Amino acid sequence: MTEISNYQEYLDKAIAIIWEVLPNLITATIIFVVGLWVVRFINRMVHRFFQKKDYDLALESFLQSFISLALKALLFVLVITQLGVKSSSLVAIVGAAGLAVGLALQGSLANFAGGVLILIFKPFKIGDFISAQGVDGTVKEITIFTTKLNTFGNQVAILPNGQLSNNNIINYNSESTRRDKIDVGIGYGSNIKEAKDILLQICTEKSNILKEPAPEVYVGELADSSVNLTLRFWAKNEDFWNAHFYVIEETKHRFDAAGIEIPFPQRVVYGLK
């Protein structure tokens, strides 16, 4: 009978604890669910705000990720407090955890600072084509820690903001026009003036090659097996690659028609007698 009495006592204590904790647990669950909905709602409002205003898309993605992270951290504190953890204890725990996490995530903090610098100094914006950290691609998104690029092959390259803000970046869209440089080799027996005239004529006839500044062509090098001509012309960013590939293909067709040789390396092997 004594053991049954003890079991009953333990059961009563357990039930009492459950009834004591259950209201806080239910309230914490409600706060958690409602809090996540509020976070998503605020992010949608931020998105709508930026849609109505002509702001940089990079600022929108950065603020959305930052606001989401900050609000979720606040929600975590509210839920833990509702479950009965005292504020003083929570502050001590958060302080100790913050120190440990800060030491462990120094790189992440540097990436956050790099993201802020990118937003302030704007070396690039969403939609720009850049070359950085050995990767070429179009800027797709700028978050609080990383920047995402779409490469030529439609892969997504993720670059840390810390390294990105402290290293060289080439922004191909910062100016509205770009200058192309194409090297073409012709044989030593070919007419240099005729070859130069053909290259300039190609540029003149192509509508998306700018006439000002005027295209120019000159002898860049007297190489071992060819006279290398260098053609330079300007085009708008959106027309650049179309003009580039057109000039290369058209040069081959017109040189062939004019009998101008485009030499290739040759090696003569003499046999021993």
Residue ranges per structural domain of the chain? 2-104, 115-171, 177-258
pLDDT digits (tens, 9 = 90+) for 195-244: 999 999 999 999 999 999 999 999 999 998 899 999 999 999 999 999 99
Q: Is the pTM of this model over 0.85?
A: no
Architecture of domain 115-171: Roll (2.30)
Q: Which CATH class is domain 177-258?
A: alpha beta
CA 229, CA 125: separation in Å to the nearest integer?
Answer: 36
112-162 per-position pLDDT tens digit = 888 888 888 888 988 899 999 999 999 998 888 899 999 989 999 999 998
Pair type for strands 169-171 and 177-186: unpaired
2-104 to CATH, choices 3.30.420.110, 1.10.287.1260, 1.10.287.1770, 3.40.50.720: 1.10.287.1260
The span from the CA of 132 to the CA of 112, in Å, is: 18
Strands 135-142 and 177-186: unpaired
